[in-house]
Amino acid sequence: MVSGGPLLLAAVVCLFLLASAFWAERRFAGYDRLPRQFGFTLKAIAYGPRWVIIWFVPLIIIAAIALAVFAPAIFPSENIRGEPGTGVVIASLVGAAAQVFILWLLVRWANGQG
């Protein structure tokens, strides 16, 4: 089971993800649809409902972090290689970075809308 620092980091990142979703809900309240896909030039190429972009993405990231946290309890110990806490730290940092990048793209797009 994962405990200590990695578990605290996972909890902090999950709280950050939820807080960022609440912030995004207020920031993008004036839009019915938001970009859900960006091209290589970082221009929006596909759009989706606002609630999907704002709430579904952080929930998927939280689910991935939860899987990393609970994997040692689900899978037999002989199938786990290395320290389970390392996976939780990596999943948490990558999830937080992904959310920051997505929000940066959305803010950049919204600023370009006028």
Tell me the per-residue pLDDT of 28-38, one tens digit each, with 9 for 90 and over.
Answer: 999 999 999 99
- Amino acid 50: pLDDT: 92
**How many residues are given for the chain?**
114
Strands (E), 39-109: 44-49
Which contacts of 97-100 are long-range, i.e. CB under 8 A and separated by 24 or more positions?
A: 98/61, 99/16, 99/17, 99/20, 99/57, 99/58, 99/61, 100/20
Q: Which residues of the chain carry a pLDDT beneath 70?
A: 1-2, 78-80, 114
User: Dihedral, CA atoms, 84, 86, 90, 96, nearest 10 degrees?
Assistant: 80
Strands (E), the chain: 33-38, 44-49
pTM for this prediction: 0.85
Contact, 58 vs 102, CB < 8 A? Answer: no
